[in-house]
Amino acid sequence: TGSSDPYCIVKIDNEAIIRTATVWKTLSPFWGEEYEVQLHPSFHSISIYVMDEDALSRDDVIGKVCITRTMLAEHPKGYSGWVSLSEVDPDEEVQGEIHLRVELLEGEGRRLRCTVLEAR
């Protein structure tokens, strides 16, 4: 149909912790959803999978973005910008990018604020 029904799944060290809302029939979704999670001091990475919801079969993985502990250390005040999606399945072509804002919040424990803004 030339469109998609995208949503995102956020995983910390491969454990799914967040699922965004599905944005129906679009190739340029806007989410504007914001989440705060407690990070374990030994975490390695945060992965954001962009999915295409499919009512008749298994949902398709459009691509993913991986934010590593090292990347967060290189941007101590946070990161905001467009990040290209990478492939999950080596047999699938991936096109697209996601607009993220990631901030480390200090205070009571170490928290991460990740805002999933939009994709294209």
Residues 23/32, Cβ–Cβ less than 8 Å: no
Digit-coded pLDDT (tens) for 11-41:
999 999 999 999 999 988 988 888 878 888 8
Q: How far apart are the first and last CA of the chain?
A: 16
| Burial degree of 7 (CB within 10 A; 0-12, 13-18, 19+) | buried
Q: What is the pLDDT of residue 92?
A: 77
How much is the pTM?
0.85
Q: What is the pLDDT of residue 113?
A: 84
Q: Is 13 helix (H, G, I), strand (E, B) or coil?
A: coil
Residue 88: left if φ>0, alpha if ψ -120 to 50, beta else—which one? alpha
Q: Which two three-digit tokens encode residue 6?
A: 């995208």
Domains defined along the chain, listed by start = 6-119 (2.60.40.150)
In the predicted model, residues of the chain with pLDDT beneath 50 are none
